[in-house]
Amino acid sequence: MGKVKEKIRFWLSALLYFLFNLRIGSDLQESVVATFWQILQTAPYVAGFTYLIVSVLQYMGDGSKLSWDRRLRLFFAIGIMAGLILAIWEYGGVTFA
């Protein structure tokens, strides 16, 4: 039963990551392009922060490695926060000049 719960949590995290980075356009094509561009812009920063946190966790755990699903869930969690912050920034009327 534990494996099923882990898989559900993993896919739920992935879905939430996608939803928080979803950008709505006037049509489907514009929405897909804007969402892809959002994920493409934030993924390097999210991956960097994830790498730093994983490194600290492994150092604190005497070098024991984190599993890939936990690393990806951490990536999704940081990506959700980044997507939320950028959505508030964009929808708040701030323009990038």
Which amino acid is present at 58? Q
Structural domain includes residue 97: no
pTM for this prediction: 0.85
Q: How far apart are CA 62 and CA 67, in angstroms?
A: 15
For residue 49, the enclosing domain spans: 2-91
pLDDT for the residue 13: 94
Q: How far apart are CA 21 and CA 31, in angstroms?
A: 11
Structural domain includes residue 96: no
pLDDT for the residue 25: 84
Structurally, the chain folds into a number of domains equal to 1
pLDDT for the residue 80: 95
Half-sphere exposure of 66 (CA within 13 A, CB side): 20
Helices (H), 1-97: 2-20, 28-60, 68-91
Check pLDDT > 80 for residue 94.
Answer: no
Q: What is the pLDDT of residues 1-59, one digit of tens each?
A: 578 998 999 999 999 999 999 988 889 999 999 999 999 999 999 999 999 999 999 99
Residue in 87, 85, 91 with CA at minimum distance from that of residue 22 = 87
